[in-house]
């Protein structure tokens, strides 16, 4: 790495009032032609470019981003990372990502502030208890750490939860994945951008894709707001806008794009040192290093690209938060925002080739893509470089909607939606 960050570089730059830090990634104009182009400069797209350059030795790569890198869902999520999914295919995919997270700061020489503070999923009725216990067993068979906690243990692990049996949805227990946690979302995009740029990847911001040029059944390049760029490998990682790109080549995807909201409170002293999720009442909360409560709400029920979301969704989430944590009743919320998430019918992602040669899609992450960022990039890079999926993403192909071999994580795996 050209400009390795270390305690020495920190001291050296402190002596010059931090005025001589070099730009972390370049700002090039697009070349005429690339070996591969990644559409979408979020965490997944930048990670894909990073692993294409690092592991598959492609050097002439561009990442096109219509806004600024990490300005979409990468910068809008609630940063939760976990791998406690029910089905084998999902467990493989998400735990692959979690293992990469555990070493990501060292790998990128960039502090992504990965904090394994644990993620607890609450059960509020008998069916929740059965489902979550089943998932705990399935996780352990797949080598993923998971424990079941009874109500007293939940209270001990997170004392501010109201475990009274008198509330509308009492806490009957929960599962805990201790290796799970959070990370700084912007740092993930910036770290991958810096790493990729260092290996010669062109990161081109403010460049929107307007069309895909095809010759028969293969791609030849992209029409963009910065002109035509030739390539014969296109990896689309456009999250909520995946269908928009797919429509350019007449391809329909099994996706619906919906606003998903989050909000943060005013900063307070440390009060919750873990992540608590509850799907039944739809509330999840953690605390950022700045002290804000980070609260995730649900998706709207309708297709929309507005990055706002409805007020009633926030209202329902906050009702649930207040019942579970009466201590927050006088907290003020500071900011609310929405991101557009692309949801698959089976709540599992698509990392797949298409029937057009050289066109690959990585989409359908829905409400929970952030946690998979490193794994998603690694596996998508493998798929693009080899024109063949890795065994960990083979099940997440586009054809599963035809064959019926779905990876149904909707109700099964504590997927919040």
Partner 1 sequence: MFLINCPFCGERDQSEFSSGGEAHIVRPKQPTELSDDEWAEYLFMRKNIKGIQFERWNHVHGCRKWFNVVRDTSNDKILSVYKMGEKPPVNYK
The residues of the shown chain that bind partner 1, judged by CB under 8 A, are 241, 243-244, 247, 252-257, 300-306, 308-312, 342, 345, 401-404
Question: Closest CB to partner 1 among 59 and 311?
Answer: 311
Residue with smaller CB distance to partner 1, 15 or 402: 402
Closest distance to partner 1 from the beta carbon of 59 (Å): 34
Nearer to partner 1, 230 or 308 (CB): 308
Shortest Å, Cβ 399 to partner 1: 9
Residues 380, 96: Cα–Cα separation, whole Å: 13
Least separation in angstroms between CB 308 and partner 1: 8
Q: Measured between alpha carbons, how far is 173 from 151 in angstroms, rounded to an integer?
A: 4
- Shortest approach of partner 1 to residue 366 CB, angstroms? 13
Count of CB atoms situated within 10 Å of the CB of 103 = 11
Neighbours of 368 (CB within 10 A): 26
Give 188 or 363: the residue with its C-beta nearer to partner 1.
363
Integer Cα distance of 74 and 248 in angstroms:
24
DSSP 357: B
Closest approach, Cβ 310 to partner 1, in A, equals: 4
Query: Position of tokens 């693009």?
Result: 384
CB of 282 to partner 1, least distance (A): 15
Query: Do 255 and 243 meet the contact criterion of CB atoms below 8 Å apart?
Result: yes
User: 294 — phi, psi (to 5°)?
Assistant: -105, 115
- Nearest distance from C-beta of residue 278 to partner 1, angstroms: 21
- In the complex with partner 1, the residue whose CB is nearer, 42 or 377, is 42
Give burial (CB, 10 Å; 0-12/13-18/19+) of 126: exposed
Q: With respect to partner 1, which residue has the nearer C-beta, 340 or 379? A: 340
- Report the Cα–Cα distance between both ends of the chain, in Å, rounded: 40
Number of Cβ atoms within 10 Å of the Cβ of 223? 15
Please say which residue, 164 or 306, places its beta carbon nearer to partner 1: 306
User: Phi and psi at residue 249, in whole multiples of 5°?
Assistant: -115, 20
């Amino acid at each position: 790495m050209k400009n390795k960050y270390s305690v020495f570089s920190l001291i050296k730059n402190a002596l010059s009032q931090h005025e001589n830090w070099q730009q972390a990634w370049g700002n090039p104009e697009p070349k005429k032609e690339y070996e591969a182009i990644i559409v979408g400069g979020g965490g997944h797209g930048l990670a894909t470019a990073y692993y294409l350059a690092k592991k598959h030795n492609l050097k002439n790569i561009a990442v096109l981003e219509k806004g600024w890198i990490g300005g979409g869902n990468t910068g809008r999520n609630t940063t939760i990372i976990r791998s406690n999914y029910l089905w084998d295919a999902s467990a493989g995919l998400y735990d692959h990502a979690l293992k990469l997270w555990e070493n990501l700061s060292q790998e990128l020489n960039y502090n992504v502030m990965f904090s394994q503070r644990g993620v607890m999923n609450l059960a509020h009725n008998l069916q929740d208890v059965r489902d979550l216990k089943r998932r705990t067993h399935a996780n352990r068979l797949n080598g993923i750490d998971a424990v079941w906690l009874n109500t007293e243990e939940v209270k001990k692990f997170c004392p501010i939860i109201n475990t009274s049996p008198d509330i509308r949805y009492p806490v009957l227990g929960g599962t805990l994945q201790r290796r799970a946690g959070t990370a700084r979302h912007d740092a993930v995009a910036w770290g991958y951008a810096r790493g990729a740029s260092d290996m010669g990847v062109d990161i081109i911001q403010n460049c929107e894709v307007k069309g895909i040029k095809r010759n028969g059944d293969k791609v030849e390049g992209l029409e963009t707001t910065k002109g035509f760029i030739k390539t014969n490998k296109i990896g689309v990682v456009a999250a909520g806008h995946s269908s928009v790109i797919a429509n350019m080549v007449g391809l329909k995807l099994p996706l619906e794009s919906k606003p998903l909201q989050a909000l943060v409170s005013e900063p307070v002293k440390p009060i919750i040192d873990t992540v608590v999720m509850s799907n039944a009442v739809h509330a999840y909360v953690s605390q950022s290093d700045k002290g804000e409560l980070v609260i995730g709400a649900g998706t709207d029920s309708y297709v929309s690209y507005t990055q706002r979301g409805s007020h009633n969704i926030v209202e329902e989430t906050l009702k649930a938060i207040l019942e579970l944590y009466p201590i927050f009743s006088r907290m003020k919320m500071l900011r609310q925002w929405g991101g557009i998430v692309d949801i698959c019918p089976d709540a599992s992602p698509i990392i797949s080739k298409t029937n057009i040669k050289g066109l690959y899609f990585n989409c359908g992450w829905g409400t929970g893509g952030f946690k998979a960022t490193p794994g998603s990039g690694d596996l998508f890079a493998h798929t693009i470089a080899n024109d063949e999926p890795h065994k960990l993403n083979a099940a997440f192909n586009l054809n599963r909607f035809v064959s019926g071999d779905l990876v149904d994580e909707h109700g099964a795996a504590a997927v919040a939606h």
